[in-house]
Amino acid sequence: MPPIADILLFAVMLAAAGAVSGLLAGVFGIGGGAVLVPVFYQVFGYAGIPEDVIMHLAVGTSTALIVPTSLRSFRAHLTRGAVDMGLLKGWLIAVPAGALLATVVVAFVSSEGLRLFFAVMGLVLAARMLFLSNRLHMGTELPGQPWRFLVGVGIGLFSGLMGVGGGVFNNTFMTLYGRPIHQAVATSSGVGVLISIPAFFGFIYAGWGEPGLPPFSTGYVNWIAFAVIFPIAMVVTPYGAQIAHSLNKRQLELGFALFLLFVSARFFWSLVG
């Protein structure tokens, strides 16, 4: 068991991550998972948790935290009238179905595989935001059915595999079709709700009885980490929503892209180190 000083250090690191993730949940319409997953990976590894379950535990615990942070972010954006409720209603089946599919895939994918997927997708999305923001557009109207349904399933699947709230994918999808970044960010908070709730239960089921999990874990969800981060993230998320509506489109895009690059670099480093 680590010394008390190390345990306190872990708590401080997790508390800081909770503040950052809650802020990001409001700013970018994400559930904060893109910052929590790499932090969890680092902290769980230091705690001596077996390598083959670290990434699964990080993704599952991140998903559990996305439930309250995305709900709070969605409420904050909804009061500003920026959420595309029509799109969300059309995804009531598609996005949760994709999220549940992700929990099935996670049960058969290695820790290295999850990290590689996380890093590659972050890099692709960041490149699009940095270099193709004003040049790559697929049209002026969102695609109809069945393509929209399939996109919803894909967003749920990819987000579930990364332990994120869907903002990274929905923001890209909506802006590709000419939607304002502020509307995309606001709508992404609702997508996070559709992803996180079914995925939360899926990760519990997928990790049920898995050997090597730390104490106070239910499947791939660790409740100690949840208890430290949850209250902090809930307090700061509305402030992130305020920041989002005070920034212009390019500022949001650049901040989002730089953040994704940092996360991708961290995981690539873990694979070669």
Q: How far apart are the first and last CA of the chain?
A: 25
Beta carbons of 63 and 163 less than 8 angstroms apart: yes
Tokens (6 digits) for 90:
């059309």
Domain carrying residue 204: 4-272
Q: Would you call 105 helix, strand, or coil by DSSP?
A: helix
Rounded to whole angstroms, the Cα distance separating 4 from 227 reads 18
Q: Give CA 233 to chain center in angstroms.
A: 14
Beta carbons of 115 and 163 less than 8 angstroms apart: no
The HSE-up count of residue 120 (CA atoms within 13 Å, CB side) is 9
Rounded to whole angstroms, the Cα distance separating 255 from 72 reads 22
In this prediction, residue 2 carries a pLDDT of 56
Q: Write down the residue that tokens 């489109």 correspond to.
A: 249
pLDDT, tens digit only, all 273 positions of the chain:
556 776 677 677 777 777 776 777 667 655 567 777 877 887 788 777 888 899 999 999 989 988 887 888 888 888 888 889 999 999 999 999 999 999 999 888 888 898 899 889 888 878 877 876 655 677 678 878 899 999 999 999 999 998 888 877 888 888 888 888 788 888 988 999 999 999 999 999 999 988 888 888 999 999 988 988 888 877 777 777 777 777 776 777 787 788 778 878 878 887 886
pTM attached to this predicted model: 0.80
In this prediction, residue 25 carries a pLDDT of 65
Q: What are the φ and ψ backbone dihedral angles of 107, each rounded to 5 degrees?
A: -65, -15
Which residues pair with residue 13 across a beta bridge? Answer: none
Question: What are the respective helix, strand and coil percentages of the chain, to the nearest 5?
Answer: 75, 0, 25
The tally of domains found in the chain comes to 1
In this prediction, residue 102 carries a pLDDT of 94
Beta carbons of 172 and 128 less than 8 angstroms apart: yes
